[in-house]
Structure 1
Amino acid sequence: MPKLTTMLRFSYLLLLVFWSRASLAAPPDAVVRGLPGTDVTSIDYFNIYWAGKGGAVRPGSRVFVHFDENSYSPTLVRFPALKPSRKRGQRQPPPGQLAFKPPTLVVMPGDTVDISFNEQQYAFEFRGRHQAELDFCYKVWQSSVGLDGWFFEMNVPHSKVPLDQFLRDWSQLKRTTEALLVELQRTPGIRPEVASLLTQNLRLRIFHTLLLPAEYQLPRDPLRVLTPAYVDSVTAGSGILTVYQRRAPQDSSAGLPTALSAYAAYLCLRAGRQPITSARYAMARQTYRGIQRAWACYEILEDARFHHKDIRRLLADYQTWVAPYTEFVRALKGDPTVPMRSYRREVFTDSLDAPAGPAQPLVALLSQHKGRVVLLDIWASWCAPCLAELPASAAVAKRYQAQGLSVLYLSIDRDAKDWRRALGRLRGGPANHFRFTNPVASRLRREFEITSIPRYLVLDRTGAVRSPDAIRPSDERFAAFIEGILAQP
């Protein structure tokens, strides 16, 4: 019997390790498959750093859409084939004309989409398990609106057309977009995550389209005079940025940084300045806060770098203030980026015991510190390094409390009595101390792979995890690290 018990425990541990590793694995790829008889086409998609991926779709082939910690999820997948010209054999558009608007789909990890493409007729067919989503994306493509590439919607010289005419054209496009959004809400079979991305993307893009006159302001042309009607329209629409700008990049889409950049160009024009790269960068730095300031300025610098402009001076300035979002600097330099992750709400639902009073979920505790930077100190009564670090952690809490820092101590003690005895010996008492009700099954520990302690996690004022494995409070570098996060609104 003892041998059987030992074997069962060993089997249980193996199962637990396997399950933990499986739960921490990267999200599954999505697959785009070419149906038999399809003409060759291609797909492309981008991550939060505008790093493009894709591949050719041929009959019977499979192209994988990879999801990692820097991916949008869901993400937009575009099919950028050119519409054939009427002149036989000429596939490139004539000079001065744009390529035909490509269809764009929304896919999530694990999706499989089958496609068929007829090059001569420029006709696409999409099939998949979530057909309602594919059909809606197809309908958007067939409309005057689009999910990708705002320049396809209104193929007019925006720097020359009178603003009153532009507003009439834009108003019609806005009505079409609003009708599509109403239809989206009424369409069954669309997953909530996909519906959220479609809504966000369409609303951001219609606002971005309104800003095209500022985007198309050429340095050699006189500054455009903005009419009261146009200014009123932009002012009314700019609230959409507030709705989405607190989202983590992975929960957003490329529509957000491009809209932020375009709005900075508009503000330059409104201030009587040409929206060249340096002016737009300065305006974005002045206007936005937190990660959206870092992301908008990255978008501006990356666009300038893509067009072979010299960004060395602006990049030097960017590096002086962008911390803790230094991944953007690495991307601009071409270095490998450190993953910038966002985490689901479920990760923070562990039940916590308090020294006195009922247990509460971690998410409820965090909500009590909303708008503050939160340092989670993971420790245990039996961990000597943890106990040695507690005075430094307490000193940090006291030093930065007025600047908006909250330190929460989360114990992984399995025995509540050991934890309470340790609290009785602490100089500061039990203030802000809690214990995981079930430390072994903690979602937080599993998500962040907390296998050794002490461990420190830092959440910024928006609730986003900015450092899942922060340096210790006793480290001489900690002050600069935490002050950089506290400085972000």
Structure 2
Amino acid sequence: MKVSKRLCLLFLVITVNFSPLHLVKAKSGEAVIINIGKDAKVFLYYEDTYLDGPPLNLLSGDTLKVDFNKAFSSPVMVYTPEGFKHLGMGFLIMPGDTVKLDYDAIQESILFKGKHQAELYFAKQLGHLPYSLKGPFDQISYGSKTPFEEFLAEWHKISLDSEKLIKTLKFSPAIRPEIASYFEKAIRLRVFQILLIPVITQDADKPLRPLDKVYKDAVTSQAKKLKIFGNFADPISIDAIYTLRAYAMFLARINGKYGEFGEQYEIIRNDYQGKLKELALYSIIKNLDAANEDITPLLKDYKELYGKENKYALKLVERGKLNNVNLLADFKLNDTLYASNNQEITFFDILKKNKGKVIYLDLWASWCKPCLEEMPASLKLADEYRNKEVVVLYLSIDEDHEKWENSLIDLLIDAPETYRFKNVEKAGLKEKFKIGAIPRFLIINKEGVVRYAYAPRPHEPKLEEMLDNLLAK
């Protein structure tokens, strides 16, 4: 079976220290971000590609300090989910910056305030442009039958618009040179990613669409301008990693291949060097693992390249161990939960009650729009397997009990197995399985052993095959 070649979006984030201070200014070597909103929680994704982890939750009145002396190169991109759905807006911070955030519930957007207001405004505008920092896949909705000349004509318009924007950026005295340089590179990388859409969106289950000469020449020309084989990514960013992977897919395509994960890995392994190569290969293996495919050969090669003690190799090994965790054997996982009737119950009690059944664990929250979008498919799945010894458990990470209760009335009134962590911040299950970004799904076998720590979403066809296989055992 072919693995989809689409670039699975991977949030590479780094955790920094929280401080409950409300009014504070950044000191030398640090930046400060303050949530000045009255009620809303703000979620932040830090783009620093040396570590990955869950998003940071900044409560009302909380202050976040970013220490450039210890963890970051300068500048650092901070993403904020637009309407808690897309990574729609981002802003850059540098040592000495103090940025204030306020979530606008009506507009479902983040308002930025700070000394460098022109930079914050410019960053916000980027979130609404065709070559925005949201991702290349939904920017130009061309099907596989769109003529290349038509696609290139539209792409050239975007390219020209981007050059005008870059020119404006360079001649804006209110925008610091370091910030302007970062944005220029980010825009150029994203425009190049858009050019690669016909390659990225090739369906792995359909015949390869030949790339015509004009298109191939356009990609090759842009790659040379970006110095795609050189040190074009400084500092290294998420965009740089995925631009490199998209270009590897292009190189595979011109050689008659689909550009799947393994082919991306081989090209980048052989043709690139440095930190970008290390991180790109790591992201490929991690995406392959998330697709529940065998990563053993690539992980073995990665260890040979960078050593068994390489921190990314260790992350992949630890990630694999999560697919064989006996939940009842670790008392730290026996979290106290609230049931839909407001009675307390332990996680072990739920597992014991459902022993002999396959469990599909749906981790969600009432404020999470992607979670809510999956609910119809999840409820349909629960109904289809109701008489097949499969139970769908809904476990919320909501902290607000009332909002959780109200969401049950709206969404899960007929779902029998709905729960909420009593103390989500100290939940052993959340810590053990690195549950940060949601929705997140786990599949647990009849004996209470996790078999898929990163299970497919309810709408994905592969899910039913996994459940049926476990039922047959």
User: TM-score scaled by structure 2?
Assistant: 0.55
Letter in 1 for 2:95: P
Q: Which residue of 1 aligns with 2:126?
A: 140
Q: In the superposition, relative to structure 1, how do residues 210 and 272 fare at CA in structure 2: closer, same or farther (>3 Å)? A: same
Contact kept in structure 2, 1:116 and 1:126, CA below 8 Å: yes
- Residues 121/248 of structure 1: CA separation in 2 closer, same or farther (3 Å cut): closer
Query: Counterparts of 1:369-408 in structure 2 under 5 Å?
Result: none
C-alpha distance 326-37 of structure 1, shift in aligned 2 (>3 A): closer
1:68 & 1:211 partners in 2: Cα distance?
Answer: 37
What is the 5 A alignment of 1:274-293? Answer: 274-293=258-277
> CA offset at residue 247 of structure 1?
6.3
Deviation sequence 1:42-70 (CA, Å, 0-9, x none): 22123214614543344433244455766
1:123: Cα distance to partner? 4.2
Change (3 A) 1:69 1:282: farther
Q: Go from structure 1 to structure 2 and tell me whether the alpha carbon gap of 1:326 and 1:69 turns closer, same or farther (over 3 Å shift).
A: farther
Larger Rg: 1
Q: Which amino acid aligns with 1:127?
A: K
Is the contact between residue 214 and residue 266 of structure 1 (CA under 8 Å) also seen in structure 2? Answer: yes
- 1:90-239 alignment, distance < 5 Å: 99=85, 102-154=88-140, 156=141, 159=144, 161-239=146-224
2:68 & 2:58 partners in 1: Cα distance? Answer: 19
Aligned partners of 1:72 and 1:252 also within 8 Å = no
Number of the residue aligned with 2:404? none
Q: Which runs of 5+ in 2 are unaligned?
A: 1-26, 320-473
Contact persistence 1:245–1:256 (CA under 8 A): no
Per the TM alignment, residue 281 of structure 1 is displaced from its structure 2 partner at its CA by: 1.0
Equivalents in 1 of 2:154, 2:243: separation in Å?
Answer: 19
- Equivalent residues of 1:27, 1:68 under 8 A apart: no
Partner secondary structure for residue 56 of structure 2: strand
Query: Cα offset for 1:266?
Result: 0.7
- 1:263 paired to 2:253: no
Distance 1:216 1:49, change over 3 A: farther
1:48 and 1:72 in contact (8 A); partners too = no
C-alpha separation in 2, matches of 1:303 and 1:57: 28
Q: Say which structure, 1 or 2, has more relative contact order (CA 8 Å, 6+ apart).
A: 2
Preserved CA contact (<8 Å) 2:88 2:133: no
Residue in 2 aligned with 1:329?
313
The CA deviation string for residues 267-297 of structure 1, in whole angstroms up to 9 with x for no partner, is 1111001111111111222222344433332
Counterpart CA distance in 2 for 1:69 and 1:280 is: 33
Stretch moving more, 181-190 or 157-166:
157-166
User: Structure 1 62/48 Cα, relative in aligned 2: closer, same or farther at 3 Å?
Assistant: same
Shift in Å, 1:159: 4.3
2:269 corresponds to which letter in structure 1? Answer: R
1:215 Cα deviation after fit: 1.7
Q: 1:16-38 CA distances to partner (integer Å, 9 max, x unpaired)?
A: xxxxxxxxxx9844322223446
Q: Deviations over 1:319-344 (max 9, x none)?
A: 22346994443343349xxxxxxxxx
- 1:51 maps to what in 2? 52
Match of 1:61 in 2: 62
Q: Which amino acid aligns with 1:82?
A: G
Over aligned residues, Cα RMSD in angstroms? 3.0
2:77–2:93 contact (8 Å) kept in structure 1? yes
Amino acid of the structure 1 residue aligned with 2:183: L
Asked if 1:315 corresponds to 2:315, the answer is: no
Matching of residues 10-49 of structure 1 within 5 Å: 28-37=29-38, 39-49=40-50
Partner of 2:470: none
**Unpaired segments ≥5 residues, structure 1:** 1-25, 84-98, 336-489
Alignment partners' CA distance in 2, 1:29 and 1:305 = 36
1:248–1:211 distance in 2 versus 1, CA, 3 Å: closer
Change (3 A) 1:65 1:224: farther
- Matches of 2:98 and 2:300 in 1, distance apart? 43
Identity, % of aligned positions: 29
Q: Which residue of 2 aligns with 1:384?
A: none
Equivalent residue of 1:142, what SS? coil
Cα deviation, residue 188, structure 1: 0.7
Q: Does 1:296 align with 2:280?
A: yes
Number of residue equivalences: 293
Q: Which residue of 2 aligns with 1:252?
A: 236
Tell me: CA distance 1:123–1:330, structure 2 relative to 1, closer, same or farther (3 Å). Answer: closer
Letter in 1 for 2:107: Q
CA deviation map 1:124-155 (0-9, x unaligned) = 4211111221121122223222134333533x
Structure 2 residue matching 1:103: 3-state secondary structure: strand
1:74 maps to which residue?
Answer: 75
Query: Relative to structure 1, is the Cα distance of residues 59 and 214 closer, same or farther in structure 2, using a 3 angstrom cutoff?
Result: same
Q: Is the 8 A contact 1:56 1:63 kept in 2?
A: no
